[in-house]
Amino acid sequence: MLSNSAKDLLVNLLTTLGKQADEKVPATRISLFLNDILVGHLKSREAVFLKKTFRFIELDGPCSRCRILAENPQQASKRIAAISQIFKQCGLVTAWRDELLPVVSVKDFGRTTVLAEIERAMARPFALSTFAVHLNPYTQDGRLWVAQRSFKKAINPGYWDNCAAGMVPIGETFLTAMARESWEEAGIEEGTLQFHFLERHLISRAVTEGWMFEHTIMFDADVSDNFVPHNVDGEVEKFELLTQEEVIQRAAIGAFTFESSLSVLLSIANKNGLSADLISYTNHLF
């Protein structure tokens, strides 16, 4: 059990992070539609640039919204790929992945209808909905395994993270993505660990690459005392087994990435019987 001082710090951290996770979209960004479906937003000057470059781009009113026109998902994907290559050539995106994510409506929280596919690096310039899975494995005595991101990572190198976490690409479910990430990042063989769904939350905030509009799907797991994660894909520098209070202290000094701070702290709050509804999201959906 946490001490009273640790509980107070935990609640204060989550309250602060909750406000930061629900940032108001500035007027310099305008809504982005795929035909008539709202999918994200982008900088107004970039919308003007796209309008001048592509015939399939429309700007409604005095730059009030930008629309990508396409007859079907296949055409939409090709046109978005053309936009992506222009952004890449102009240096407007970083950390190109050659990994495809689905484009969905901002109101499609379950990814039920894929409207197109897009290079992962383009998701944040366009504030598209992304979906990520996070794993928090606890030992029998309540300690938590966490991972340090490789110093070679393009984003947040060397920061602390969940034991395993990553994007859900096109063609995967939340569970299959969690199983894959668990193997790649922590060496957990498929079927050897039971994932317990904890909760999901939404982060909407400005980031260096553009705008994060990310749904986090959180899983806890119970592991034995002889469980030791090992990295497979080279994206983890090292793992550490910390007490819950050590995790809170490390999060308090900003050693964790923003999104992993939310995940580990919400998980610890749940473990200690604190309200899981510590964060109130307005979700600015324009």
Q: Output the pTM of the full model.
A: 0.92
The whole-number pLDDT of residue 277 equals 52
Where residue 283 falls among pLDDT bands split at 50, 70, 90? very low
Residue indicated by tokens 């063609």: 171
pLDDT tens-place string over residues 17-51: 999 999 999 999 999 999 999 999 999 999 999 99
Percent of the chain with pLDDT over 70: 95
Where residue 285 falls among pLDDT bands split at 50, 70, 90? very low
Between strands 100-103 and 164-167, the pairing is unpaired
CA–CA distance, 159 with 227 (Å, rounded to integer) = 23
CA–CA distance, 268 with 6 (Å, rounded to integer) = 11
pLDDT tens-place string over residues 102-157: 999 999 998 999 999 999 999 999 999 999 999 999 999 999 999 999 999 888 89
Is residue 69 left, alpha or beta, with left meaning phi > 0 and alpha meaning psi from -120 to 50?
A: beta
User: CA geometry: angle at 92 spanning 86 and 93, to 5°?
Assistant: 95
CA–CA distance, 225 with 228 (Å, rounded to integer) = 8
Sequential DSSP letters for the chain: ---HHHHHHHHHHHHHHHHHTBPPPPTTEEEEEETTEEEEEEEHHHHHHHHHH-TTEEEETTTTEEEE--SSHHHHHHHHHHHHHHHHHTT---S----EEEE--TT-TT--S--EEEEGGGTTTTT-EEEEEEEEEE-TTS-EEEEEEPTT-SSSTT-EEESEEEE--TT--HHHHHHHHHHHHH---TTSS--EEEEEEEEEEEETTEEEEEEEEEEEEE--TT-----SSS-EEEEEEE-HHHHHHHHHTT-B-HHHHHHHHHHHHHHTT--S----------
What value does the mean pLDDT of the chain take? Answer: 92
pLDDT tens-place string over residues 152-199: 988 889 999 999 999 999 999 999 999 999 999 999 999 999 999 998
Tokens of 263: 């995940």
pLDDT tens-place string over residues 248-265: 999 999 999 999 999 999
Between strands 116-119 and 210-222, the pairing is unpaired
CB neighbour list of residue 27: distance below 8 Å, 6 or more residues apart? none
Closest Cα partner for 182 from 227, 229, 218, 215?
229
pLDDT tens-place string over residues 56-96: 999 987 668 999 999 999 999 999 999 999 999 988 887 89
Contact (CB, 8 A) for 236 and 153: no
Contact (CB, 8 A) for 233 and 282: no
Tokens of 241: 């087994």
